[in-house]
Structure 1
Amino acid sequence: MTAATRSLLLILGLFGLGLVISGAYVLSRGPERAAGAAAIGAPFDLATTQGARFSDAGLKGEPHLVFFGYTHCPDVCPTTLAQISSAFAALGKDAKIGALFVTVDPERDTPEALRDYLSSFDPRIVGLTGTDGEIRAAARAFRAYYRKNPPDASGGYAMDHTGVVYLMDREGRFIGALNLERPAADVAKELSAYL
């Protein structure tokens, strides 16, 4: 392959990436959504740690954050949940906002394990689980990725997963990815605009 061919392929690849990014931007624009494009946060139906059903209809009425992870996650999940908890604390205990922590590891994350894990974080964070099919459907609804890694010598395993925190408005529409890598007061100020 010549240098000119490699350069052309690189340019075409960057152009394609630009189309994907601009398409994701259009999907996040609510009413301006491209005709025929599926919404992020499309219909899903999962179970809470208390056994109640929670669907996309439950997102309506107050803003929600949605995050996919698992309880055996070594760093990203506990850090993200702590950041969400800090932002919620900065908003105040009476702020009408919720967060959903959707497990991508229902094999280990039983309702009891999920409930116990989330007891260390803000009580407005609701744990959701379901069958493999229900979790896959929810992940598709949010364009989230996850994959179980091969087990190690002890039989344990890790999960690769999307680290995006989805911000949904009070109508259940996707606003954008929430940046938690800043002071909790700044995150709370952004969230307060949707309350």
Structure 2
Amino acid sequence: MLAKNCLGTRLVSPKLLRTSLRSFHPSVVKFQQQSQPNSKEPNIEPKRRPLSRVAIGGSKESTNKYYNKGSGLEFATWKAVVLLFVVGGIGTYFFQKEKTRLHVLREMEQNRKIGKPLIGGPFTLQDTKGEKFTNENLVDPRGKRFSILYFGFSHCPDVCPEELDKLGDMLDILRKNNIEIQPVFITCDPARDTPEVLSKYLEDFDPSIIGLTGTYDQVKNVCKKYRVYFSTPPDVKPGQDYLVDHSIFFYVLDPEGNFVDVIGREAGAIESAEKITKNAAAFIPTKEIEARQKSWLGFLYK
């Protein structure tokens, strides 16, 4: 019930006030729980909103272009790295190849310097067609064709046929390697090895082999120039039987007719052909070497 005070104002009765507070109490408690933080839970910072990727004063399209440009730059960097490795690998390959070539070239130069006073020189013989053949025929003006000389004789029982068979195998390999080669067979037995005899004898081995013969003095001269030993007697009567002993070597000459290498009997056909192939790949004409020695890379050719 409502009561009035001395001023005439209506007052709420205590009973009614307790009833109203009882009904309002749960809402007040719930509001207090929500407004007051729980002391047992850890302090969690409020989640920050990510910064906008749109530049101030710019549009979204221009910003996307900027990021796309950055991705392209990163891709270009990777391409540059790959290109660097490829170019470096190719450069290393050609450097090693040129290094090997220069090594073979130095060996050829050393043999050439030794060979000038010791091995090779002017000579005159005739081939199986009766035409003159001199040391000038060993020179190739194009600077490509190598020559290989072998000294033997057609009545040789075993060594010469074996070496000529090996020469035939060498020529087959060199042709496959695109190496131009001029094979020459010089007899140490001019009394029996006439042009006709040599022509028929060499048919059994390789048709490209050039057979050379001459007088005894001519053969002796060329054997002396190439330091070939042979024991053919100087005065042989027709039908006389005799033995011939000689050196067993292949002499390799470069396109300028200079001695550059020697191949012994112990070397096989594959090994010998590979040796000539390396010499052919490393060959540089003398004039070109002299020009390179005067260039800024001259130290490589000294």
Both structures adopt the same fold (TM-score exceeding 0.5): yes
* Root-mean-square deviation (Å): 2.6
Selected match of 1:114 from 198, 221, 232: 198
**1:140 correspondence with 2:224:** yes
Q: Does 1:52 align with 2:131?
A: yes
> Could you say which structure has the higher helix fraction?
2
> How many residue pairs align between the two structures?
165
Q: Post-superposition shift, 1:145? A: 1.1
- In the alignment, the residues of structure 2 paired with residue 81 and residue 110 of structure 1 have an alpha-carbon distance, to the nearest angstrom, of 18
Aligned CA distance change for structure 1 residues 28 and 140 (closer, same or farther; 3 Å) = farther
Q: 2:214 aligns with which of 113, 130, 152?
A: 130
State the structure with bigger RCO (CA 8 A, min sep 6), 1 or 2. 1
* SS of residue paired to 1:186: helix
- C-alpha deviations, 1:109-150, integer Å up to 9, x for none? 11111000000112221100001111111111101111137x
**Partner residue in 1 for 2:150:** 67
Deviation at 1:67, TM superposition (A): 1.1
The separation in 1 between residues aligned to 2:267 and 2:222, in whole angstroms, is 28
Say whether 1:184 aligns with 2:266: no
Instruction: Choose which of 150, 159, 174 in structure 1 pairs with 2:259.
Output: 174
> Match for residue 63 of structure 2?
none
Structure 1 residues 182 and 160, CA gap change in structure 2 (3 angstroms): closer
Higher alpha-carbon Rg: 2
Amino acid at match of 2:154: T
Change (3 A) 1:179 1:104: closer
Residue aligning to 1:81:
164
Contact map agreement 1:28 1:174 (CA 8 A) in 2: no
Instruction: Tell me, in whole angstroms, the C-alpha distance in 2 between the residues paired with 1:28 and 1:78.
Output: 32
Displacement of 1:183 in angstroms is: 4.0
What residue is the counterpart of 2:174 in the other structure? 91
The answer for unaligned runs of 5 or more in structure 2 is 1-106, 281-302
The answer on whether the counterparts of 1:85 and 1:121 sit within 8 Å (CA) in structure 2 is yes
Runs of 4+, deviation exceeding 3 Å:
179-183
User: How has the CA–CA distance of structure 1 residues 169 and 180 changed in structure 2, closer, same or farther, with 3 Å as cutoff?
Assistant: farther
Determine which structure has the larger strand proportion and give its number. 1
The two structures have a TM-score, normalised by structure 2, of 0.50
Alpha-carbon contact 1:46-1:53 (below 8 Å) kept: yes
Check whether the contact 1:83–1:180 (CA below 8 A) recurs between aligned residues.
Answer: no
**AA in 1 matched with 2:128:** T
Question: What residue in structure 2 maps to residue 21 of structure 1?
Answer: none
* Partner SS for 1:147: coil
CA drift of 1:28 comes to 6.3
* Distance across 1 between alignment mates of 2:230 and 2:245: 5
Query: Normalising to structure 1: TM-score of the pair?
Result: 0.75
Distance 1:190 1:64 in 2: 13
Deviation at 1:80, TM superposition (A): 0.7
Residue 160 of structure 1 deviates from its aligned partner by: 0.8
Partner-residue secondary structure (3-state), 1:161: coil
